[in-house]
Chain A
Amino acid sequence: MDWTALFLSLRLAGWTVVILLPVSILAGRFLAYRQFRAKGLVEAIVMLPLVLPPTVFGFYMLLAFGRNSPVGAFWQATFGHQLVFTFEGLLLASVIFNISFAIQPAQRGFEAVPAEVREAAACCGMSPWRSLWNVELPLAWPGVMTAMVLTFAHTLGEFGIILMMGGSIPGETKTIAISIYDRVQGFDMAGAGIMSATLVAISLFTIAVTYMLSARVGRRLS
Protein backbone atom coordinates (compact mmCIF):
# COMPACT_ATOMS: atom_id res chain seq x y z
CA MET A 1 0.00 0.00 0.00
CA ASP A 2 1.48 3.28 -1.15
CA TRP A 3 0.31 5.64 1.64
CA THR A 4 2.35 8.54 0.30
CA ALA A 5 0.56 8.30 -3.02
CA LEU A 6 -2.84 8.04 -1.34
CA PHE A 7 -2.24 11.11 0.84
CA LEU A 8 -0.91 13.01 -2.16
CA SER A 9 -4.12 12.22 -4.05
CA LEU A 10 -6.28 13.28 -1.12
CA ARG A 11 -4.23 16.49 -0.72
CA LEU A 12 -4.58 17.27 -4.44
CA ALA A 13 -8.32 16.56 -4.40
CA GLY A 14 -8.81 18.61 -1.22
CA TRP A 15 -6.97 21.67 -2.53
CA THR A 16 -8.75 21.42 -5.89
CA VAL A 17 -12.08 21.54 -4.06
CA VAL A 18 -10.98 24.45 -1.84
CA ILE A 19 -9.93 26.50 -4.85
CA LEU A 20 -12.93 25.57 -7.01
CA LEU A 21 -15.64 26.12 -4.37
CA PRO A 22 -15.80 29.93 -4.73
CA VAL A 23 -15.32 29.60 -8.52
CA SER A 24 -18.18 27.11 -8.62
CA ILE A 25 -20.52 29.41 -6.68
CA LEU A 26 -19.70 32.65 -8.47
CA ALA A 27 -19.41 31.29 -12.01
CA GLY A 28 -22.36 28.92 -11.59
CA ARG A 29 -24.52 31.77 -10.30
CA PHE A 30 -23.37 34.09 -13.06
CA LEU A 31 -24.12 31.58 -15.82
CA ALA A 32 -27.46 30.69 -14.23
CA TYR A 33 -28.83 34.24 -14.00
CA ARG A 34 -27.18 36.27 -16.72
CA GLN A 35 -28.06 36.25 -20.38
CA PHE A 36 -25.35 37.48 -22.72
CA ARG A 37 -24.44 36.96 -26.33
CA ALA A 38 -21.40 34.72 -25.86
CA LYS A 39 -23.09 32.59 -23.21
CA GLY A 40 -23.28 29.51 -25.44
CA LEU A 41 -19.59 29.77 -26.23
CA VAL A 42 -18.66 30.20 -22.56
CA GLU A 43 -20.77 27.20 -21.61
CA ALA A 44 -19.11 25.17 -24.38
CA ILE A 45 -15.65 26.10 -23.09
CA VAL A 46 -16.69 25.12 -19.56
CA MET A 47 -17.80 21.74 -20.89
CA LEU A 48 -14.67 21.16 -23.01
CA PRO A 49 -12.56 19.35 -20.35
CA LEU A 50 -15.38 16.83 -20.06
CA VAL A 51 -15.13 15.68 -23.67
CA LEU A 52 -11.40 16.05 -24.38
CA PRO A 53 -9.14 13.02 -23.78
CA PRO A 54 -7.01 13.80 -20.69
CA THR A 55 -3.86 13.24 -22.74
CA VAL A 56 -4.87 15.94 -25.22
CA PHE A 57 -5.70 18.25 -22.35
CA GLY A 58 -2.41 17.41 -20.63
CA PHE A 59 -0.50 18.05 -23.83
CA TYR A 60 -1.88 21.58 -24.06
CA MET A 61 -1.20 22.11 -20.36
CA LEU A 62 2.42 21.17 -20.94
CA LEU A 63 2.57 23.67 -23.79
CA ALA A 64 0.87 26.38 -21.75
CA PHE A 65 2.83 25.93 -18.51
CA GLY A 66 6.08 24.33 -19.69
CA ARG A 67 9.46 25.97 -19.27
CA ASN A 68 9.22 27.74 -22.63
CA SER A 69 5.76 29.20 -22.06
CA PRO A 70 5.29 32.74 -20.60
CA VAL A 71 3.56 31.33 -17.50
CA GLY A 72 6.24 28.65 -17.04
CA ALA A 73 9.05 31.16 -17.53
CA PHE A 74 7.47 33.56 -15.03
CA TRP A 75 7.11 30.74 -12.50
CA GLN A 76 10.71 29.66 -13.02
CA ALA A 77 11.94 33.26 -12.55
CA THR A 78 9.85 33.80 -9.40
CA PHE A 79 10.20 30.49 -7.56
CA GLY A 80 13.42 29.13 -9.01
CA HIS A 81 11.95 25.85 -10.25
CA GLN A 82 9.68 24.93 -13.10
CA LEU A 83 5.90 24.63 -12.80
CA VAL A 84 5.36 21.32 -14.55
CA PHE A 85 6.34 18.13 -12.71
CA THR A 86 5.57 19.79 -9.34
CA PHE A 87 2.58 19.59 -6.99
CA GLU A 88 1.63 23.21 -7.79
CA GLY A 89 1.63 22.46 -11.48
CA LEU A 90 -0.48 19.40 -10.87
CA LEU A 91 -2.92 21.44 -8.77
CA LEU A 92 -3.18 24.07 -11.50
CA ALA A 93 -3.95 21.42 -14.12
CA SER A 94 -6.41 19.73 -11.79
CA VAL A 95 -8.25 22.98 -11.11
CA ILE A 96 -8.60 23.75 -14.80
CA PHE A 97 -9.47 20.18 -15.74
CA ASN A 98 -12.25 20.07 -13.10
CA ILE A 99 -13.98 23.28 -14.15
CA SER A 100 -16.80 21.41 -15.92
CA PHE A 101 -17.50 19.33 -12.83
CA ALA A 102 -17.32 22.35 -10.54
CA ILE A 103 -19.46 24.79 -12.52
CA GLN A 104 -22.13 22.76 -14.32
CA PRO A 105 -23.95 21.24 -11.32
CA ALA A 106 -23.70 24.53 -9.41
CA GLN A 107 -25.18 26.36 -12.39
CA ARG A 108 -28.10 23.90 -12.43
CA GLY A 109 -28.47 24.42 -8.68
CA PHE A 110 -28.75 28.20 -9.05
CA GLU A 111 -31.06 27.84 -12.04
CA ALA A 112 -33.43 25.93 -9.78
CA VAL A 113 -33.86 28.99 -7.53
CA PRO A 114 -37.01 30.71 -8.87
CA ALA A 115 -36.42 34.25 -10.16
CA GLU A 116 -39.37 35.38 -8.08
CA VAL A 117 -37.73 34.13 -4.88
CA ARG A 118 -34.56 36.07 -5.68
CA GLU A 119 -36.65 39.16 -6.41
CA ALA A 120 -38.46 38.64 -3.12
CA ALA A 121 -35.09 38.62 -1.35
CA ALA A 122 -34.26 41.99 -2.89
CA CYS A 123 -37.71 43.35 -2.02
CA CYS A 124 -37.10 42.18 1.56
CA GLY A 125 -34.17 44.59 1.66
CA MET A 126 -31.44 41.98 1.25
CA SER A 127 -28.26 43.17 -0.45
CA PRO A 128 -26.99 40.86 -3.24
CA TRP A 129 -24.49 39.29 -0.83
CA ARG A 130 -27.07 38.70 1.88
CA SER A 131 -29.43 37.28 -0.71
CA LEU A 132 -26.69 34.90 -1.90
CA TRP A 133 -25.86 33.80 1.62
CA ASN A 134 -29.36 33.58 3.14
CA VAL A 135 -31.55 32.57 0.21
CA GLU A 136 -29.74 31.46 -2.94
CA LEU A 137 -26.97 29.31 -1.45
CA PRO A 138 -29.26 27.36 0.88
CA LEU A 139 -31.52 26.62 -2.09
CA ALA A 140 -28.74 25.94 -4.63
CA TRP A 141 -26.66 23.99 -2.11
CA PRO A 142 -27.44 20.49 -3.44
CA GLY A 143 -26.03 21.55 -6.81
CA VAL A 144 -22.93 23.15 -5.32
CA MET A 145 -22.31 20.13 -3.12
CA THR A 146 -22.68 17.76 -6.06
CA ALA A 147 -20.15 19.90 -7.91
CA MET A 148 -17.64 19.61 -5.08
CA VAL A 149 -18.09 15.87 -4.63
CA LEU A 150 -17.69 15.22 -8.34
CA THR A 151 -14.57 17.39 -8.35
CA PHE A 152 -13.11 15.55 -5.37
CA ALA A 153 -13.88 12.06 -6.64
CA HIS A 154 -12.81 12.89 -10.17
CA THR A 155 -9.46 14.28 -9.01
CA LEU A 156 -8.80 11.15 -6.94
CA GLY A 157 -9.25 8.99 -10.02
CA GLU A 158 -7.56 11.18 -12.64
CA PHE A 159 -4.71 9.48 -14.45
CA GLY A 160 -3.87 10.74 -17.93
CA ILE A 161 -3.46 14.41 -17.25
CA ILE A 162 -1.38 13.74 -14.14
CA LEU A 163 0.95 11.50 -16.07
CA MET A 164 1.34 14.20 -18.73
CA MET A 165 1.74 17.14 -16.34
CA GLY A 166 3.33 15.57 -13.30
CA GLY A 167 5.21 12.47 -14.27
CA SER A 168 5.65 10.14 -11.35
CA ILE A 169 7.72 11.79 -8.62
CA PRO A 170 6.98 10.15 -5.22
CA GLY A 171 5.46 12.59 -2.70
CA GLU A 172 5.25 15.30 -5.35
CA THR A 173 3.29 14.08 -8.34
CA LYS A 174 2.89 10.34 -7.91
CA THR A 175 -0.82 10.01 -7.05
CA ILE A 176 -2.61 6.82 -6.14
CA ALA A 177 -3.81 6.24 -9.70
CA ILE A 178 -0.27 6.46 -11.04
CA SER A 179 0.97 4.23 -8.24
CA ILE A 180 -1.60 1.59 -9.11
CA TYR A 181 -0.48 1.68 -12.74
CA ASP A 182 3.15 1.32 -11.65
CA ARG A 183 2.27 -1.71 -9.50
CA VAL A 184 0.47 -3.37 -12.38
CA GLN A 185 3.44 -2.64 -14.64
CA GLY A 186 5.67 -4.29 -12.00
CA PHE A 187 3.33 -7.32 -11.78
CA ASP A 188 2.45 -6.45 -8.13
CA MET A 189 -1.20 -7.38 -8.62
CA ALA A 190 -1.83 -7.75 -4.87
CA GLY A 191 -0.59 -4.20 -4.16
CA ALA A 192 -2.56 -2.80 -7.07
CA GLY A 193 -5.63 -4.66 -5.84
CA ILE A 194 -5.44 -3.25 -2.31
CA MET A 195 -4.98 0.28 -3.56
CA SER A 196 -7.75 -0.04 -6.13
CA ALA A 197 -10.10 -1.36 -3.45
CA THR A 198 -9.13 1.55 -1.17
CA LEU A 199 -9.87 4.05 -3.93
CA VAL A 200 -13.24 2.41 -4.61
CA ALA A 201 -14.07 2.58 -0.88
CA ILE A 202 -13.11 6.25 -0.53
CA SER A 203 -15.03 7.28 -3.67
CA LEU A 204 -18.09 5.30 -2.65
CA PHE A 205 -17.98 6.74 0.86
CA THR A 206 -17.70 10.34 -0.40
CA ILE A 207 -20.59 10.00 -2.82
CA ALA A 208 -22.80 8.12 -0.33
CA VAL A 209 -22.27 10.79 2.33
CA THR A 210 -23.15 13.50 -0.18
CA TYR A 211 -26.35 11.79 -1.23
CA MET A 212 -27.34 11.38 2.39
CA LEU A 213 -26.65 15.04 3.08
CA SER A 214 -28.54 16.24 0.01
CA ALA A 215 -31.49 14.05 0.96
CA ARG A 216 -31.47 15.85 4.31
CA VAL A 217 -31.37 19.23 2.55
CA GLY A 218 -34.28 18.06 0.39
CA ARG A 219 -36.30 17.20 3.48
CA ARG A 220 -35.41 20.56 5.02
CA LEU A 221 -36.90 22.28 1.96
CA SER A 222 -40.13 20.38 1.76
Chain B
Amino acid sequence: MALEVVARADAPIPLHVSFRAEPGELLALVGHSGSGKTTLLRTIAGLWRPQSARVSVDGEVWLDTAAGINLAPHRRHAGLVFQNYALFPHMTAAQNVMAAMDRRTPNLRDEAERLLALVNLPGLADRKPGQLSGGQQQRVAVARALARRPQVLLLDEPFSAVDRATRERLHDEIIALRAHLKMPVVLVTHDMNEAQLLADRMVVIERGGVVREGTTAEVMTDPVALRTMGIREVAANLPAVIVEQEDDGLTRLQASAGPLFLPRVEAPVGTRLTIRIPAQDVILSRTRPEGLSALNVLPATVTAVRLGEGPGAIIQLRAGEDLLLARITRRSALALELAPGVACFAILKTVAVAQTNVGVAR
Protein backbone atom coordinates (compact mmCIF):
# COMPACT_ATOMS: atom_id res chain seq x y z
CA MET B 1 0.00 0.00 0.00
CA ALA B 2 2.85 2.35 -0.77
CA LEU B 3 4.02 4.66 -3.53
CA GLU B 4 6.87 3.22 -5.55
CA VAL B 5 8.75 5.26 -8.13
CA VAL B 6 11.55 4.32 -10.50
CA ALA B 7 12.55 6.88 -13.11
CA ARG B 8 15.32 7.04 -15.69
CA ALA B 9 15.84 9.72 -18.29
CA ASP B 10 18.68 11.36 -20.20
CA ALA B 11 16.84 14.42 -21.47
CA PRO B 12 15.87 17.16 -20.85
CA ILE B 13 17.55 16.46 -17.51
CA PRO B 14 19.39 13.30 -16.48
CA LEU B 15 17.40 11.28 -13.98
CA HIS B 16 18.28 8.08 -12.25
CA VAL B 17 16.12 7.74 -9.17
CA SER B 18 14.05 5.22 -7.30
CA PHE B 19 12.26 5.65 -4.01
CA ARG B 20 9.34 4.44 -1.99
CA ALA B 21 6.94 6.20 0.36
CA GLU B 22 4.77 4.36 2.87
CA PRO B 23 1.16 5.25 3.67
CA GLY B 24 0.95 8.08 6.19
CA GLU B 25 4.62 8.84 5.73
CA LEU B 26 5.92 12.23 4.63
CA LEU B 27 8.85 11.82 2.30
CA ALA B 28 10.83 14.90 1.31
CA LEU B 29 12.65 15.07 -2.02
CA VAL B 30 15.37 17.61 -1.32
CA GLY B 31 17.71 19.16 -3.85
CA HIS B 32 18.85 22.33 -5.54
CA SER B 33 16.69 23.81 -8.29
CA GLY B 34 17.29 21.89 -11.48
CA SER B 35 18.17 18.71 -9.61
CA GLY B 36 15.12 16.92 -11.02
CA LYS B 37 12.93 16.75 -7.93
CA THR B 38 9.94 18.58 -9.43
CA THR B 39 10.25 16.43 -12.54
CA LEU B 40 9.84 13.39 -10.29
CA LEU B 41 6.66 14.84 -8.82
CA ARG B 42 5.32 15.56 -12.32
CA THR B 43 6.15 11.99 -13.29
CA ILE B 44 4.02 10.68 -10.43
CA ALA B 45 1.14 12.99 -11.36
CA GLY B 46 1.36 12.01 -15.03
CA LEU B 47 2.33 15.45 -16.30
CA TRP B 48 5.65 14.18 -17.60
CA ARG B 49 6.88 10.83 -18.87
CA PRO B 50 10.58 9.94 -18.54
CA GLN B 51 12.14 7.62 -21.12
CA SER B 52 11.94 4.76 -18.67
CA ALA B 53 9.85 4.79 -15.54
CA ARG B 54 7.50 2.87 -13.31
CA VAL B 55 5.06 4.43 -10.86
CA SER B 56 2.72 2.36 -8.74
CA VAL B 57 0.44 3.26 -5.86
CA ASP B 58 -1.29 0.70 -3.66
CA GLY B 59 -0.08 -1.92 -6.15
CA GLU B 60 -1.97 -0.11 -8.92
CA VAL B 61 0.35 0.66 -11.85
CA TRP B 62 0.02 4.26 -13.07
CA LEU B 63 3.03 4.26 -15.36
CA ASP B 64 5.15 1.44 -16.71
CA THR B 65 7.06 2.39 -19.83
CA ALA B 66 8.27 -1.21 -20.26
CA ALA B 67 4.70 -2.54 -20.26
CA GLY B 68 3.29 0.40 -22.22
CA ILE B 69 1.05 1.54 -19.35
CA ASN B 70 0.60 5.30 -18.95
CA LEU B 71 -2.54 6.52 -17.20
CA ALA B 72 -3.63 10.04 -18.10
CA PRO B 73 -3.26 12.53 -15.21
CA HIS B 74 -7.02 12.76 -14.70
CA ARG B 75 -7.21 8.99 -14.22
CA ARG B 76 -4.53 8.96 -11.50
CA HIS B 77 -5.71 9.69 -8.00
CA ALA B 78 -2.89 12.08 -7.14
CA GLY B 79 -3.48 15.33 -5.29
CA LEU B 80 -0.93 17.90 -6.41
CA VAL B 81 -0.29 21.24 -4.73
CA PHE B 82 1.51 23.42 -7.27
CA GLN B 83 4.29 25.81 -6.31
CA ASN B 84 2.15 28.80 -7.32
CA TYR B 85 -1.03 26.91 -6.38
CA ALA B 86 -2.57 27.12 -9.92
CA LEU B 87 -6.03 27.77 -8.52
CA PHE B 88 -8.86 28.29 -11.01
CA PRO B 89 -9.10 32.10 -10.96
CA HIS B 90 -12.73 32.24 -12.10
CA MET B 91 -13.97 30.00 -9.31
CA THR B 92 -14.49 30.68 -5.61
CA ALA B 93 -12.49 28.79 -2.99
CA ALA B 94 -15.38 26.36 -2.50
CA GLN B 95 -15.82 25.89 -6.27
CA ASN B 96 -12.09 25.21 -6.62
CA VAL B 97 -12.40 22.45 -4.04
CA MET B 98 -15.62 21.09 -5.54
CA ALA B 99 -14.04 21.00 -9.00
CA ALA B 100 -11.71 18.26 -7.76
CA MET B 101 -14.43 16.16 -6.16
CA ASP B 102 -16.14 13.15 -7.56
CA ARG B 103 -19.38 14.66 -8.85
CA ARG B 104 -21.37 11.80 -7.32
CA THR B 105 -20.33 12.93 -3.83
CA PRO B 106 -23.47 13.75 -1.86
CA ASN B 107 -23.58 17.29 -0.40
CA LEU B 108 -20.63 18.55 -2.47
CA ARG B 109 -20.80 21.98 -0.90
CA ASP B 110 -20.79 20.67 2.71
CA GLU B 111 -17.83 18.45 1.93
CA ALA B 112 -15.97 21.42 0.39
CA GLU B 113 -16.61 23.50 3.50
CA ARG B 114 -15.44 20.64 5.70
CA LEU B 115 -12.15 20.46 3.77
CA LEU B 116 -11.70 24.24 3.90
CA ALA B 117 -12.23 24.11 7.67
CA LEU B 118 -9.68 21.29 7.87
CA VAL B 119 -7.04 23.58 6.32
CA ASN B 120 -8.01 26.44 8.67
CA LEU B 121 -9.90 28.46 6.09
CA PRO B 122 -13.43 28.73 7.37
CA GLY B 123 -15.66 31.59 6.25
CA LEU B 124 -13.77 32.40 3.05
CA ALA B 125 -15.46 29.78 0.86
CA ASP B 126 -17.02 32.34 -1.46
CA ARG B 127 -13.89 34.38 -2.13
CA LYS B 128 -12.12 34.19 -5.48
CA PRO B 129 -8.37 33.37 -5.42
CA GLY B 130 -7.62 37.00 -6.34
CA GLN B 131 -9.24 38.08 -3.07
CA LEU B 132 -7.14 35.71 -0.94
CA SER B 133 -3.65 36.14 0.49
CA GLY B 134 -0.82 33.83 -0.55
CA GLY B 135 -1.17 31.72 2.57
CA GLN B 136 -4.93 31.44 2.10
CA GLN B 137 -4.46 30.43 -1.54
CA GLN B 138 -2.04 27.73 -0.43
CA ARG B 139 -4.65 26.37 1.98
CA VAL B 140 -7.26 26.27 -0.81
CA ALA B 141 -4.75 24.40 -2.97
CA VAL B 142 -4.18 21.84 -0.21
CA ALA B 143 -7.95 21.43 0.29
CA ARG B 144 -8.42 21.02 -3.47
CA ALA B 145 -5.68 18.37 -3.62
CA LEU B 146 -7.35 16.47 -0.76
CA ALA B 147 -10.80 16.79 -2.35
CA ARG B 148 -9.84 14.14 -4.86
CA ARG B 149 -9.44 11.63 -2.07
CA PRO B 150 -5.95 11.09 -3.45
CA GLN B 151 -4.00 7.88 -3.07
CA VAL B 152 -0.90 10.05 -2.86
CA LEU B 153 -0.49 13.71 -1.93
CA LEU B 154 2.20 15.66 -3.79
CA LEU B 155 3.48 19.01 -2.53
CA ASP B 156 5.69 20.98 -4.93
CA GLU B 157 7.56 23.67 -2.95
CA PRO B 158 4.22 24.64 -1.37
CA PHE B 159 5.73 27.10 1.10
CA SER B 160 8.07 29.01 -1.20
CA ALA B 161 5.65 31.71 -2.35
CA VAL B 162 4.72 33.10 1.07
CA ASP B 163 6.50 35.29 3.60
CA ARG B 164 8.44 33.81 6.48
CA ALA B 165 5.82 34.29 9.20
CA THR B 166 3.08 32.71 7.03
CA ARG B 167 5.44 29.89 6.13
CA GLU B 168 6.00 29.00 9.77
CA ARG B 169 2.26 29.01 10.41
CA LEU B 170 1.65 26.81 7.35
CA HIS B 171 4.37 24.40 8.52
CA ASP B 172 2.56 23.98 11.83
CA GLU B 173 -0.73 23.45 9.99
CA ILE B 174 0.73 20.77 7.74
CA ILE B 175 2.16 19.02 10.79
CA ALA B 176 -1.30 19.11 12.41
CA LEU B 177 -3.04 18.06 9.18
CA ARG B 178 -0.91 14.95 8.91
CA ALA B 179 -2.92 13.26 11.65
CA HIS B 180 -5.78 13.12 9.11
CA LEU B 181 -3.72 11.81 6.20
CA LYS B 182 -3.52 8.10 5.54
CA MET B 183 -1.81 8.28 2.14
CA PRO B 184 1.89 8.72 1.31
CA VAL B 185 2.84 12.40 1.12
CA VAL B 186 5.74 13.54 -1.09
CA LEU B 187 7.14 17.01 -0.42
CA VAL B 188 9.52 18.65 -2.87
CA THR B 189 11.68 21.36 -1.32
CA HIS B 190 15.10 22.96 -1.69
CA ASP B 191 15.04 23.88 1.99
CA MET B 192 16.75 21.23 4.12
CA ASN B 193 15.52 22.85 7.31
CA GLU B 194 11.94 22.74 6.10
CA ALA B 195 12.35 19.09 5.16
CA GLN B 196 13.88 18.43 8.54
CA LEU B 197 10.88 19.98 10.28
CA LEU B 198 8.21 18.19 8.25
CA ALA B 199 9.54 14.94 6.86
CA ASP B 200 9.83 11.45 8.29
CA ARG B 201 12.27 10.43 5.63
CA MET B 202 14.37 12.31 3.09
CA VAL B 203 15.81 11.62 -0.33
CA VAL B 204 18.56 14.03 -1.29
CA ILE B 205 18.73 14.48 -5.06
CA GLU B 206 21.59 16.03 -6.95
CA ARG B 207 21.86 16.19 -10.74
CA GLY B 208 19.10 13.63 -11.15
CA GLY B 209 20.60 11.04 -8.81
CA VAL B 210 20.04 10.03 -5.18
CA VAL B 211 22.89 11.24 -2.96
CA ARG B 212 21.50 10.05 0.33
CA GLU B 213 18.30 8.47 1.53
CA GLY B 214 17.15 7.74 5.04
CA THR B 215 15.26 8.96 8.07
CA THR B 216 15.34 12.69 8.60
CA ALA B 217 17.67 12.38 11.60
CA GLU B 218 20.08 10.19 9.62
CA VAL B 219 20.21 12.45 6.59
CA MET B 220 20.37 15.66 8.56
CA THR B 221 23.38 14.46 10.49
CA ASP B 222 25.12 12.97 7.48
CA PRO B 223 28.06 15.17 6.51
CA VAL B 224 28.05 13.99 2.88
CA ALA B 225 24.40 14.89 2.35
CA LEU B 226 24.87 18.22 4.06
CA ARG B 227 27.90 19.08 1.98
CA THR B 228 25.99 18.22 -1.19
CA MET B 229 23.32 20.65 -0.14
CA GLY B 230 26.00 23.21 0.72
CA ILE B 231 24.48 23.64 4.13
CA ARG B 232 26.51 25.73 6.53
CA GLU B 233 23.96 26.28 9.21
CA VAL B 234 23.34 22.62 9.87
CA ALA B 235 21.29 21.78 12.91
CA ALA B 236 19.88 18.77 14.69
CA ASN B 237 16.24 18.56 15.67
CA LEU B 238 15.58 17.09 19.08
CA PRO B 239 12.19 16.09 20.42
CA ALA B 240 11.53 17.28 23.97
CA VAL B 241 8.64 17.70 26.40
CA ILE B 242 7.96 20.73 28.60
CA VAL B 243 8.40 19.64 32.21
CA GLU B 244 8.23 22.84 34.20
CA GLN B 245 7.89 26.60 33.84
CA GLU B 246 10.48 27.90 36.29
CA ASP B 247 10.29 31.16 38.28
CA ASP B 248 13.35 32.82 36.71
CA GLY B 249 11.79 32.91 33.21
CA LEU B 250 13.25 29.65 31.97
CA THR B 251 11.35 26.61 30.76
CA ARG B 252 12.69 23.19 31.67
CA LEU B 253 12.30 20.52 29.01
CA GLN B 254 13.17 16.86 29.00
CA ALA B 255 14.99 15.38 25.99
CA SER B 256 15.97 11.73 25.72
CA ALA B 257 19.53 12.54 26.81
CA GLY B 258 18.70 14.83 29.72
CA PRO B 259 17.15 18.13 30.79
CA LEU B 260 17.28 21.28 28.65
CA PHE B 261 16.63 24.90 29.67
CA LEU B 262 15.14 27.44 27.29
CA PRO B 263 13.95 31.01 27.68
CA ARG B 264 10.23 30.90 28.48
CA VAL B 265 8.32 28.79 25.93
CA GLU B 266 4.68 29.83 26.09
CA ALA B 267 3.04 26.42 26.08
CA PRO B 268 1.52 24.23 28.78
CA VAL B 269 3.50 21.61 30.68
CA GLY B 270 3.41 18.33 28.77
CA THR B 271 3.62 19.98 25.32
CA ARG B 272 5.89 18.08 22.97
CA LEU B 273 8.31 20.29 21.06
CA THR B 274 11.07 20.05 18.53
CA ILE B 275 14.20 21.82 19.60
CA ARG B 276 16.66 22.98 17.03
CA ILE B 277 20.32 22.84 17.89
CA PRO B 278 22.68 24.39 15.32
CA ALA B 279 25.96 22.52 14.95
CA GLN B 280 27.83 25.84 15.20
CA ASP B 281 26.61 26.27 18.75
CA VAL B 282 27.67 22.93 20.12
CA ILE B 283 30.97 22.70 22.02
CA LEU B 284 32.48 19.34 22.86
CA SER B 285 34.39 18.30 25.97
CA ARG B 286 35.90 14.93 26.89
CA THR B 287 35.25 15.53 30.59
CA ARG B 288 32.15 16.87 32.31
CA PRO B 289 32.69 20.62 32.22
CA GLU B 290 32.71 22.58 35.47
CA GLY B 291 32.41 26.28 36.12
CA LEU B 292 30.71 27.03 32.83
CA SER B 293 27.94 29.52 32.27
CA ALA B 294 26.19 27.18 29.81
CA LEU B 295 23.13 25.50 31.31
CA ASN B 296 22.63 22.78 28.76
CA VAL B 297 25.15 19.96 28.83
CA LEU B 298 24.22 16.54 27.45
CA PRO B 299 26.26 13.35 27.68
CA ALA B 300 26.86 11.92 24.21
CA THR B 301 28.79 9.35 22.23
CA VAL B 302 30.60 10.12 18.97
CA THR B 303 29.08 8.16 16.09
CA ALA B 304 30.90 9.71 13.13
CA VAL B 305 33.71 12.15 12.45
CA ARG B 306 33.94 13.95 9.16
CA LEU B 307 37.00 16.06 8.57
CA GLY B 308 36.32 18.64 5.91
CA GLU B 309 38.75 19.91 3.31
CA GLY B 310 39.13 23.18 5.20
CA PRO B 311 39.93 23.69 8.86
CA GLY B 312 36.48 22.47 9.97
CA ALA B 313 35.07 19.12 11.03
CA ILE B 314 31.56 17.83 11.64
CA ILE B 315 31.02 15.42 14.49
CA GLN B 316 27.90 13.32 14.67
CA LEU B 317 26.88 12.31 18.20
CA ARG B 318 24.28 10.16 19.81
CA ALA B 319 22.70 11.82 22.82
CA GLY B 320 20.15 9.53 24.42
CA GLU B 321 18.04 8.32 21.53
CA ASP B 322 18.68 11.33 19.35
CA LEU B 323 21.41 12.50 16.99
CA LEU B 324 23.30 15.75 17.48
CA LEU B 325 25.78 17.56 15.27
CA ALA B 326 28.76 19.63 16.29
CA ARG B 327 30.82 21.77 13.95
CA ILE B 328 34.28 22.23 15.46
CA THR B 329 37.77 22.80 14.09
CA ARG B 330 39.81 19.97 12.68
CA ARG B 331 42.54 20.84 15.20
CA SER B 332 40.12 20.35 18.14
CA ALA B 333 38.81 17.09 16.70
CA LEU B 334 42.37 15.73 16.54
CA ALA B 335 43.36 17.14 19.94
CA LEU B 336 40.34 15.57 21.62
CA GLU B 337 41.02 12.31 19.78
CA LEU B 338 37.40 12.12 18.71
CA ALA B 339 36.49 8.84 17.02
CA PRO B 340 33.37 6.71 16.82
CA GLY B 341 32.57 5.25 20.24
CA VAL B 342 34.29 7.99 22.24
CA ALA B 343 32.19 9.37 25.10
CA CYS B 344 32.04 13.13 25.55
CA PHE B 345 29.82 15.99 26.64
CA ALA B 346 27.96 18.33 24.31
CA ILE B 347 27.67 21.86 25.62
CA LEU B 348 24.76 23.70 24.03
CA LYS B 349 24.78 27.47 24.21
CA THR B 350 21.31 28.35 25.47
CA VAL B 351 21.06 31.44 23.33
CA ALA B 352 21.40 29.24 20.28
CA VAL B 353 18.16 27.43 20.96
CA ALA B 354 16.05 29.94 19.06
CA GLN B 355 12.45 30.16 20.09
CA THR B 356 11.24 30.72 16.54
CA ASN B 357 12.69 27.36 15.65
CA VAL B 358 10.60 25.56 18.22
CA GLY B 359 7.96 23.60 16.35
CA VAL B 360 4.96 21.77 17.74
CA ALA B 361 5.82 18.10 17.74
CA ARG B 362 3.54 15.70 15.98
**Residues in chain A within 8 A of chain B (CB atoms):** 114, 116-117, 119-128, 131, 134-135, 138-139, 220-222
Contact = CB atoms under 8 A, between A and B. Distances in A.
A222 B130 CA distance: 6
Contacts of B145: 123
Contact of B72 (A122, A124, A220): A122
16 contacts: A116-B82, A117-B89, A120-B144, A123-B45, A123-B47, A123-B73, A123-B74, A123-B78, A123-B145, A124-B144, A124-B147, A125-B75, A125-B77, A125-B100, A128-B74, A222-B128
Nearest to A135: B88
The SS class assigned to the B binding surface is loop
Contacts of A121: 74, 88, 99
B90 A220 contact: yes
B342 interface: no
B79 interface: yes
B330 to A, nearest CB: 47
Contacts of A138: 90
Contacts, number: 68
Interface residues of B, number: 27
A120 B74 contact: no
A195 B314 CA distance: 89
> Interface residues of A: mostly helix, strand, loop or mixed?
helix
Nearest to B89: A221
A126 B99 contact: yes
Most buried by A among B46, B75, B100: B100
Given A116-B82, A127-B74, A134-B99, A122 B47 contact: yes
B37 interface: no
Contacts of A134: 88, 99
B86 A116 contact: yes
A139 B89 CA distance: 8
Nearest to A131: B74
Contacts of B75: 125
Contacts of A124: 74, 99-100, 144, 147-148
A134 B46 CA distance: 21
B7 to A, nearest CB: 18
B306 to A, nearest CB: 41
B246 interface: no
Nearest to B42: A119
Contacts of B84: 116
Contacts of A127: 74
Tell which of A125, A127, A134, A220 has the most Cβ of chain B within 10 Å.
Answer: A125
A109 B89 CA distance: 15
B10 interface: no
A220 B129 CA distance: 11
A122 B90 contact: no
A7 to B, nearest CB: 37
A126 B99 CA distance: 8
Contacts of B80: 119-120, 123
Contacts of B79: 123
B86 to A, nearest CB: 4
B102 interface: yes
Nearest to B98: A124
Interface in B87-134: 87-90, 99-100, 102, 128, 130
B148 A125 contact: yes
Contacts of B46: 122
Nearest to B156: A116
